[in-house]
Copies of this chain bind each other. A is one copy, B any other.
Amino acid sequence: MDEANLIAALRSIVGEGSVDVGASINPDDLHDESLHPPVPVATCVVRPTSHEQVAAIAAACSSAGVPMVARGSGTGLSGAAVPLDGAVVISFSSMRRILEIDLANHVAVVEPGVTLAELDEALRGTGLRYPVHPGERSGSLGGNVATNAGGMRAVRDGVTRHHVLGLRVVLADGTSLDLGGRFVKSSTGYDLVQLLVGSEGTLALVTQVTVKLSVRLPEQVTLLAPFATLDEVSAAIPELVVTGVDPAILEYIDFLTMAGITSAAGLDLAIPPSVADAALAYLVVVLESTSAERLDEDAAAVAEHLSRLGAIDVYSLRERTGVDLIAARERAFYVAKANGATDIIDVVVPRAQVAPYLARVAEIAARHQTFITGCGHAGDGNVHLSVFEADEAARRALLLELFEAGIELGGAISGEHGIGVAKLDAYRALTDPARLALEERLKFAFDPQGLLNPGRSSRGTTP
């Protein structure tokens, strides 16, 4: 089947108006939010409206030997949804139905184009929520599944994979599979759901997602604790966790990032200048509870712990200010981007290694005469760094050193952004060849023609 025939076939599947070709392609359908996207020439963008259409599209592309790239809402940070030249982009923007909110089983069943904001809205008034909270609420559930999105609530609530119970998928050749279900435990065959979460569209096309919901606790408070050093923040984390208070969010923010995000958000935290001058790092603790009384008790206990653990002071932020600070923190990526950051990476290390890792980062930055700022998920060791290095060769060498330092401390290249195209070279350079070979064999087991997101992900080579 040549390209013209393939496009005709796709049009017969989804309808004339749902296939964009050539100049009719919206350029926004060809990139995500990553900072160094390739500029691809896609064959077309196709917008299916059902599982059956996705299966027919995959079968047609498979017959034609043409690669396919799934696309959610394009909020990814590693270029996993950026197609390679000649690929068919399968956009899930027309599959955004919330199929069911199942209150008896506490699950939601959604199409992959549904955004986190839409799901959250649909859950209003039920007492339930989908707790995974990556920075961007316009991200789609399908995209969250592809990257195993994390976010600030991972310390208590886990990441995407801990909430995905079932997937309906299409393999590269058009085969349909229903995997998992509305249950949290199973020991029945290989757990293919877990294998697919985080596979960046390289193994299957997801057409339906069943997620576990959790209880929305009514009371919330945000505590802000400035510390003189990041070492103290890092040392405080396990002490705080073992008390059993179970914070919903535990973030550290360095003083430069704090200045950047509060200024960008026009947010005044009313921290006295003498404290701000002495603080090199901030710890943000969000607590939730079933009652205002318990929340107050917990907040008092945490404040006492933090003071004992070296906090210069502890501020209980008024409700609005606390929400605004978390929102400002979520925008850190965009603030860094606007300020000219050339890379935003998210190495994960064992949480007790955050301070040693940042010491290594400072040493690397000094040696490269480069500027690096940061914030991150202190509770789970996921360090977000904004890197400012314009020179391309220097930039690549620098990133490789930053990743390598994380791996040496027992970590991994990415906690939640994924490998995509942005970190593919680094992933291949720094990963055990025996593991890479095994991943290639797994990829082959799912997609022997190598058509799903080839050469634009952590696995698979350009056909």
Contacts and interface: CB of A to CB of B under 8 A. Distances in A.
A432 B168 CA distance: 13
Contacts of A215: 241-244, 246
Interface in A109-159: 127-128, 147-150, 154-155, 158-159
A11 interface: no
Interface residues of A, number: 86
A414 B412 CA distance: 33
A399 B103 CA distance: 31
A414 B187 contact: yes
Contacts of A431: 189
A430 B323 CA distance: 50
Number of copies: 2
A271 interface: no
B445 A184 contact: no
Given A244-B217, A290-B244, A187 B198 contact: yes
A89 to B, nearest CB: 22
A149 to B, nearest CB: 8
Nearest to A440: B445
Q: Top 7 closest A-B pairs, CB basis?
A: A104-B352, A441-B445, A194-B194, A182-B350, A188-B412, A187-B418, A244-B290
Interface of A: 102-107, 127-128, 147-150, 154-155, 158-159, 161-162, 171, 175-179, 181-192, 194-195, 197-199, 203, 215, 217, 238, 241-246, 290, 294, 348-352, 377, 380-382, 410-419, 427, 431-432, 434-435, 438-439, 441-442, 444-446, 458-459
28 contacts: A104-B350, A105-B238, A106-B238, A107-B350, A127-B242, A128-B242, A159-B185, A161-B191, A161-B194, A171-B434, A177-B438, A183-B348, A183-B381, A183-B415, A185-B348, A185-B382, A185-B415, A186-B415, A187-B415, A188-B348, A188-B414, A188-B427, A190-B198, A194-B194, A215-B242, A215-B246, A294-B294, A441-B446
